Amino acid sequence: MYVELKQINKSFGDFQASRDVSFGIEKGSLVALLGPSGSGKTTILRMIAGLETPDSGDIIIDGARVNDIPPAERGIGFVFQNYALFRYMTVYDNIAYGLKIKKMPKEQIKKRVTELLELTGLTGMEKRYPNQLSGGQRQRVAFARALAPEPQLLLLDEPFAAIDAKVRHELRTWLREMILKVGITSIFVTHDQDEAVEVASQIIVTNQGRIEQIGEPKEIYTEPKTPFVTEFIGQPTFIEDYGKLKGFRKEKKYKGAIIRPEFVEAFKSDNKTFKDVMDCSEEGVITDILFRGTSLELKLDVGGVTLTTHRSLDRRKVSVGEKMRVIIYRVFAVDETAAYPMDNEELAKRNVKYNHLEAYLYSKDGYFVV
């Protein structure tokens, strides 16, 4: 493990920001700390950087306990949420700052800065001031500045929060490629699950100062271990009496179930693809249709329960009030501490498996596209 946190606790007054936080990160990995605001993810990042001191517990970087080592000597690069570029310095001086502090010879500084300008595609911008740059360019400068002193660990605090939606997607890809190219171990904080899933190779989900689950994006998605992760990832609906739904039996030990849109399929009663499983379906009435750009989001009333599903734009037209057939493939039953996947029993009897599950993760739509 390259970075290790052991039993970290941290409070700010009455607010406990970290509770028994422990995890390890392999060298070279790209990790997301994912959680809602106030879940303690930024505090974890700042403690690794040395900007905050844990009340108890150990932080280990590259085999050495760094709790008492000042931030500047931990060999980390830090990208701040709003980049914190030095506004009275040019792009060049921003990137060169850390090297000047280290008293590197001028020639070498110039070489390194030029190298970084090239790497980040900022060549020609070195004389500009931060307020003359776009949000994306600022992020690149912040990235180059953090990398300049050749840190062993890169920490990024909400690196995309300050960028408008259109450029954000492009920058995610850029940052991921850049980090993989440089090969630096990186941890970034985000509250955006799409961002975490798309960029990271490993996700650490935080909630109320605790680590909820650690795993690869797909694992977090398909095998949520706790009620929180189940609810936080995707667009879930919580239903207490999930026994009402066809193919499921409510067990007393669970307080309810979480249903995700991707496990709900709605189709017209004359749909031939579904004719084998038609009698596993139940009736649902469309109550609302939302256009989501690449797909439609349908709200369906199924026996008094409101379910959400996505529908490809290529499929036949549907309208509000239309009666559809609905099949739920899977729900996540939850008790107080854990989540358990429950499969549709009727489908299981017919040996209909989730062979389309894989496909779902790479598309924005349901299992069957007709």
Partner 1 sequence: MEKKTRREESKAAKAILITISFLFVGLMLVVPLISILVNSLSKGFGFYLSSLGTKFVSSALKITILATAAAVLVNTLFGLVASWALTRFSFKGKQVLSTLIDIPFSISPVIAGLAYIMTFGRMGWAAPIVEGINNALGTDIQIVFAIPGVLLATIFVTFPFVSRELIPVLNAEGTDEEEAAALMGAKGFSIFKSITFPKIKWALLYGMILCFARALGEFGAVHALSKTRGKTFTLPLEIDALYLSGSADSIVASFAVSSILVIMAVIILILRNLLEHREKGKSGIV
By CB under 8 A, name the binding residues for partner 1.
49-51, 71-73, 76, 78, 80-82, 84-89, 97-98, 101-102, 129, 131-132, 145, 149
- Between 77 and 217, whose beta carbon lies closer to partner 1? 77
- Between 14 and 73, whose beta carbon lies closer to partner 1? 73
Q: Are strands 330-334 and 256-259 parallel, antiparallel or unpaired?
A: antiparallel
CA distance 18 to 48: 13
Q: Are strands 305-312 and 256-259 parallel, antiparallel or unpaired?
A: unpaired
Residues paired with residue 200 on neighbouring β-strands, in sequence order: none
How many angstroms separate the Cα of 132 from the Cα of each of 82, 119, 127, 135, 231?
15, 20, 10, 10, 41
- Between 71 and 256, whose beta carbon lies closer to partner 1? 71
SS3 64: strand
CA distance 209 to 257: 24
Residue type, 266: A
- Between 88 and 291, whose beta carbon lies closer to partner 1? 88
- Between 26 and 150, whose beta carbon lies closer to partner 1? 150
Alpha helices (H) along the chain: 41-49, 91-101, 106-119, 135-147, 165-182, 193-199, 217-222, 227-232, 345-349, 357-362
What count of other Cβ atoms lies within 10 Å of the Cβ of residue 59?
24
CB of 84 to partner 1, least distance (A): 3
CB of 93 to partner 1, least distance (A): 9
- Between 154 and 220, whose beta carbon lies closer to partner 1? 154
Q: What is the DSSP letter of 272?
A: S
CB of 54 to partner 1, least distance (A): 17
- Between 150 and 170, whose beta carbon lies closer to partner 1? 150
CB 264 within 8 A of CB 271: no
List Cβ neighbours of 44 (8 Å cut-off, separation of 6 or more). Answer: 5, 8, 18, 21, 33, 189, 206
* Alpha-carbon torsion, ordered 250, 237, 265, 297, to 10 deg: 170
SS3 content of the chain, % helix, strand, coil (to 5): 30, 30, 40
Q: Which run of H or of E encompasses 213?
A: strand 210-215
- Between 78 and 329, whose beta carbon lies closer to partner 1? 78
CA distance 173 to 191: 17
CA distance 258 to 131: 46
- Between 78 and 248, whose beta carbon lies closer to partner 1? 78
CB of 45 to partner 1, least distance (A): 12
- Between 127 and 316, whose beta carbon lies closer to partner 1? 127
